[in-house]
Homo-oligomer: A and B are copies of this chain.
Amino acid sequence: MRIAINTGGGDAPGLNAAIRSATLSAIRRGWEVFGIRNGYGSLYSDEPFIPLTRQRVHGITLQGGTILGTANRGNPFEMPYQKKDGSWGLEDRSDEAVEVFESHNIDALVAIGGDGSMRIAHKLTQKGVPVVGVPKTIDNDIWGCEVTLGFDTAVTTATEAIDKITTTAESHRRIMVIEVMGRYAGWIALHSGLSASADVILIPEIEFSLDSIAQKIMEKEKKGETYSIVVVAEGAKEVGGDHFVKGKVIGQAEQLGGVGEYLEKKLSEMTGKESRSLVLGHLQRGGTPSTSDRLISLRFGAAAIRSLADKDFNKMIVMQQNEIRRIPLSEVADKIKLVPLDGDTILTAREIGVCLGN
């Protein structure tokens, strides 16, 4: 058996642990293992595959990023190409990709990535390439999977940043707004905000009202608690307002800065207090994976090989009820896992007095 592994989408801590685990598990079964570089990028180069050996994956569990490289753009069904007039277009080069797999006698693919990667994986299986998917995203928004690799580290990085910001907020009696990642889901904001004792946590699943937030801040003020910590997901949305993601207003032409900066200005005006904002940005993607992420990644990587060994293709490895399971890739497509508003984590937040913006 000869298999290939690739990593796609934004990088996340734990990718290397999954690569190591899959590689070692496959080698112990007597298989040969190869890596595709830069998402699917190297498929179209002179060296589509690099050998993954025991030595190559030594000591990589604690390294952030991915030794294979990744790419946000460039999937076999929509590869960018430069037109004659210099502009860029997209073309379907998936047949070519399938040929490369075949001509190199690659029997199966382990595709580690986010929702986009799972969609591509599903389409590749429809073209006859046996694939098993491993769900990765710091945003934790992949449907069907209780926890994705990279999420715990991102939450930890965000929490530690808010911890640091809190001491300075308290010393200066300021409002501090920290904008975290998460795209359309509030997982990172909710978990890091709670862990770091934030006063206000704003997530895309609950539209926020500036009045509610300002009221919370002024209530604290009256109790002699003269600073406030506001954690906001990049995709949070004001009641009747627009979604922001990655510093841009979705559906609006003009650039306003991100939601963090917006809140900094508005809350300062409304409360008369000094305020500052901080966008954590790419910090949340990088660094040594947390212990929990290392373990999940190792379990996911080994489980993917087990699935291949069982000839159980076209599946995604998931963690459900603290156990490894497999679900059809077809089930995952075009779905997203949001924070459930009736879950006990939201309940806990309300019960201990966190303002959720409404």
Instruction: Give the docked Cα–Cα distance between A43 and B22 (Å).
Output: 38
Contacts of A42 in B (CB 8 A): none
Nearest to A54 among chain B residues (CB) is B223
Q: Do A278 and B283 have beta carbons less than 8 Å apart?
A: yes
Beta-carbon contacts under 8 Å, A22-77 to B: 24-25, 28, 38, 54, 58-59, 61-66, 69-72
**Complex interface: chain B residues within 8 A of A290 (CB):** 156, 290-292
Q: Judge whether A164 is part of the interface by a CB distance below 8 angstroms.
A: yes
The 20 listed contacts between A and B (C-beta, < 8 Å) are A11-B168, A11-B171, A24-B351, A54-B223, A58-B225, A61-B197, A146-B322, A156-B290, A156-B291, A159-B291, A161-B283, A163-B286, A164-B282, A168-B285, A276-B281, A278-B281, A298-B352, A302-B347, A302-B351, A321-B321
Closest 4 A/B residue pairs (Cβ): A64-B167, A164-B286, A65-B167, A321-B321
Residues of A within 8 A of B (CB): 7, 10-11, 13, 15, 20-21, 24-25, 28, 38, 54, 58-59, 61-66, 69-72, 146, 152, 155-157, 159-161, 163-168, 170-173, 176, 191-192, 194-197, 223, 225, 276, 278-279, 281-283, 285-287, 290-292, 294-295, 298-299, 302-303, 305-306, 320-324, 343-345, 347-348, 351-353
